[in-house]
Structure 1
Amino acid sequence: MSLITSWLPILLMILSLLPLLLIFPKRKPTKLPPGPPQLPIIGNLHQLGNLSHRSLWQLSEKYGPLMYLKLGSLPALVISSSKLASDVMKTQDLIFCNRPLFVSYKKISYNFLDLAFAPYGEYYRDMRKICNNELFSIKRVQSFGFIREEEVAGMIALISHSASSSTPVNLTDIMFSLTSTIIGRAAFGKCYQGGEKSNFHDAFGVVQALLTTFFFADYIPLLGWMDVVTGQQARLEKCFRDMNVIWEQVIDEHLDPMRVKREQEDLVDVLIQVQKDLHLTRDHIKALLMDVFIAGTETGAATVVWAMTELIRKPRVMKKVQDEIRRIIGNKGKVEEDDLDKLDYFKLVVKETFRMHPAAPMLITRETTQQCRLDGYNIAPKTLVFINALAIGHEAESWKNPGEFWPERFTDSPIDYKGQDFQFIPFGAGRRICPGMHFGVVTVEIALANLLYSFIWELPSGMNKEDVDMSELPGIAVHKKSPLLLVPIKCIDITNGKTNE
């Protein structure tokens, strides 16, 4: 919805149609949750802003943790408390687990053949089984461990070149390159190179933007033609064609009888086999690949960058976590995945990052399937449901000093991010919990642990921790607005595993 503000003047002009509203009969009043006043036709669309998770959080502080909005012609709820999140994603999960049929969702998902955006039903349950059993099982995720470790080692070697000259590195770019390469190798056995890599990243960046772009057809159907006038529809079609070419090429390469078979199956290999067994189409494979990249690339990169951003602003925490990692790993030269469970304080740092900066602070929009009641209010079918994971992770009733980055809050705490504790839901919960959670977490942990083990990190010359920009970019996965530039100082000799401290 990041383009709402760009088209707001047009929407306001449409208010000239206000007299037409007088000819429509008024509905009988019903007991709805509190919410801000609405404008005719556009309702509360003008109040979403570019960073909807922030603007809706701010509105919820005034109108309450269950807030009602009208977004064009669509009724909407905003959930900003753990109690209500539990009711929505546990007690009444079956009623609240559908997806809206948004224009961008439909196109990018090959007419809802994926998992993330598919409406809830038998088809969704079948695809969920495929993802849980074939793509993201613990065994499958572990089988890609060598890819993660190889790519992380390459990242550390690359950063070491800058460390020798005390040159700042752009951790934002480095992390996006790392996560996209890991996902690329795991998903289809290759990573893009040179101009090919740039084309892929450009196309994928457009996908991310379009999934949060405002389309008139979604919210004010009578004005759907405006999507053509503004060029949004053409942009969506071009993005889809560009990504489709990439996916077709990937599948063709895997079906080539002359292709050299690898010992390790990638996700496309798995999906092709599943396709034969369950009679799926190529579009099913392409839709699931789109999900894998949307969920795996941006979120992992953003999380590591936010973790390093918080740590550089908290020298005490940085020193404590680095001391733990180096004490336990010793002179081994690198952190391996088998080491991660030994790093107790490090795990707390990761949890606190998920709480402070959930990669998808506004969980993917849900929709009610039928009439229901929530917290004493009447909720109509086909009501949009926005669950604000960021606001819930900062709820004063659940967290002491919620605005402070303080990993110790999780010491001896049973609260975890796996969907059972509703005050902490970075991956969602219930029937719509992220199936790739384990893959995402281990990618974040192995990358972050090696960054902290291998280098001392400093801000560029002349910059203080108070100068670090914490502003955000809009999107499903919320990135730091300005790149994170830090100076690495090598403290681990990666050639012989000896500490240089």
Structure 2
Amino acid sequence: MDAGVTFLLLVSSLILSFYFILNRKPNASKSLNLPPGPPKLPIIGNIHQIAGALPHHAFRELAKKYGPIMHMQLGQISTIVISSPLLAKEVFKTNDLALASRPYTLLADIVLYGSSDVALGPYGDYWRQMKKMITVELLSAKKVRSFSGFREQEIDHFIEFLRSSCEKPIVIREKVTEMINNIVCKSSFGDNCKQQDVLIELVDDLGRLVSGFYVADLFPEFGFLSVISGMKSKLTKIHKSLDKIFDDIFEERKTKRQRNGVSEDDLLDVLFTIKESGGLQFPITDDNIKAVFVNMFTGGTDTSAMTIEWAMTEMMKNPNVMDKAQREVREAFKGKKKITESDLQDLVYLKFVVKETLRLHPPLPLLLPRECREQCQIAGYDIPVKMKVIVNAFACAVDPEYWDDAESFKPERFEKSTTDFMGTNFEFVPFGSGRRMCPGINFGVTSIQFALAQMLYYFNWKLPFELSPKDVDITENDGATAVKKVPLMLTPTLYSSFSH
């Protein structure tokens, strides 16, 4: 958690203490059989126990002492933290419908057009309509395949950049992020994504505000905190800027559609066609479509780029894995000057590398929180309505009861295992599971695998400045996403088969 946020919370607690004492309400939880948890301080609850640490690591350490289901008080937010695959199954399968909603956040209200999106929107008829529309019309396997041209074009540009940078150290994250951003932009808006650089910058700014551990989120009853912390003004500024960019893109596309009819094969045209055809239980507006695109950009850019960087990091740290992955790629594509997405089906070990990367470095180590809409039980404990439930996907993915040598990077572990990240193996849920599972898995994983395959096929990689594998830093940065703290710097050299 950000140190400045922690300081503000502690200072604010002096003001809040007085308010709290004057407005103390009877404790209704006494009659409930709530899970155990660490002792709490007045007002701030358990915030001090995760302050200054990476929340998914802090929660995991607390779970070792207090158990795989904990009741914690994070400011005014009463929260259940789940840290085992067995109990994750109770969240995602047994109680999926009862826990299908999302808690209110200021971010979703302001930036996502009154929480009218799919990622953070509350569960209900409208949400079910939008989730089905996105799953069937926007991100189906067939639709994702239709974007192969965009992916191939952008990855080709990335490979050309690497060719021009041979023998020079480069920061992997910068160009990989640019490549993924371009793929998402073109899939969304075709070749004419106006103000793309500004759009991506705004999405980055937004990403830094979604941890859920900011003062305004932890004390929602005190509206003034969102003002004095600056959160409300930041979110409003981002929203207005995004809205203006979307308006410009939408108006230009509407004019083009009136003149030429449906001419693009991108997500915007699909959504406009659905909107204009009618027949929906809840007719969608331009604002609803904008909320979908904010989800696409926040969920589809940094997470994929982050996974590519982590995969390369782990392969540089484990040269035997790099050698094995490169041998597979070069044998599968032997003699090919250009490879296509259809060639990926021949790669088995590289897919294990991606799986192992997602296991040790899930993009969202704490999955987006759920909110209880019907009282239920987990492990025999009561989960009341409005209770926030967080699944620690990282803790599940390194649970020694399910994984041998759990914290080591070993892609070979998947050779004799059917464990996958599609939501049915609860020890491996980097994309969630159940009704709230991320609908963009195919979109993201295809780009990750295709980019890595070409990076390993065309180039050899070495660490700059005479660093050795043991020098590779795998520290994570603070925030909702587990981004690498020190960006990976590598020197590409052209593989001898392509050097002439």
User: Please, what TM-score do these two structures have when normalized by structure 1?
Assistant: 0.93
AA of the residue aligned to 1:37: P
Cα 1:23–1:472 shift into 2, 3 Å: closer
Query: Which residue does 2:161 correspond to in 1?
Result: 158
SS at match of 2:359: helix
Cα 1:348–1:23 shift into 2, 3 Å: closer
Q: 2:35 aligns with which of 25, 33, 48?
A: 33
Query: Which residue does 1:43 correspond to in 2?
Result: 45
- How far apart are the structure 2 equivalents of 1:386 and 1:92? 13
1:297-316 paired onto structure 2 within 5 Å: 297-316=301-320
* 1:177 maps to 2:181: no
Cα 1:120–1:42 shift into 2, 3 Å: same
- How far apart are the structure 2 equivalents of 1:261 and 1:149? 27
CA RMSD in angstroms, aligned pairs only: 2.1
Query: Which residue does 1:466 correspond to in 2?
Result: 470
- How far apart are the structure 1 equivalents of 2:397 and 2:408? 12
How far off is 1:478 after superposition? 2.2
Query: Which residue does 2:324 correspond to in 1?
Result: 320
Query: Which residue does 1:456 correspond to in 2?
Result: 460
SS at match of 2:72: strand
Contact map agreement 1:334 1:454 (CA 8 A) in 2: no
Cα 1:6–1:175 shift into 2, 3 Å: farther
Q: 1:413 aligns with which of 400, 417, 437?
A: 417
- How far apart are the structure 1 equivalents of 2:160 and 2:401? 45
- How far apart are the structure 1 equivalents of 2:229 and 2:219? 15
- Identity across the alignment (%): 38
1:253-402 paired onto structure 2 within 5 Å: 253-257=252-256, 264-278=264-278, 279-402=283-406
- How far apart are the structure 2 equivalents of 1:260 and 1:477? 42
* 1:65 maps to 2:68: yes
Query: Which residue does 2:97 correspond to in 1?
Result: 94
How far off is 1:34 after superposition? 1.4
Contact map agreement 1:4 1:45 (CA 8 A) in 2: no
AA of the residue aligned to 2:424: Q
How far off is 1:223 after superposition? 2.4
How far off is 1:247 after superposition? 1.1
Q: Can you list the C-alpha shifts for 1:175-207, whole angstroms capped at 9, x where unaligned? A: 1101000000000013658xx444222211111
Query: Which residue does 1:84 correspond to in 2?
Result: 87
Query: Which residue does 2:230 correspond to in 1?
Result: 231
SS at match of 2:377: strand
How many residue pairs get aligned? The number is: 492
Contact map agreement 2:88 2:391 (CA 8 A) in 1: yes
Q: 2:408 aligns with which of 404, 407, 410?
A: 404
* 1:20 maps to 2:21: yes
Q: 2:147 aligns with which of 136, 144, 161?
A: 144
How far off is 1:26 after superposition? 4.3
1:180-259 paired onto structure 2 within 5 Å: 180-190=181-191, 196-212=195-211, 214-257=213-256
Q: Can you list the C-alpha shifts for 1:288-337, whole angstroms capped at 9, x where unaligned? A: 01111111101100000000000000000100010010011002024321
How far off is 1:255 after superposition? 0.7
Cα 1:485–1:19 shift into 2, 3 Å: closer
Cα 1:115–1:22 shift into 2, 3 Å: closer
SS at match of 2:208: helix
User: Please, what TM-score do these two structures have when normalized by structure 2?
Assistant: 0.94
Cα 1:259–1:162 shift into 2, 3 Å: farther
SS at match of 1:87: helix
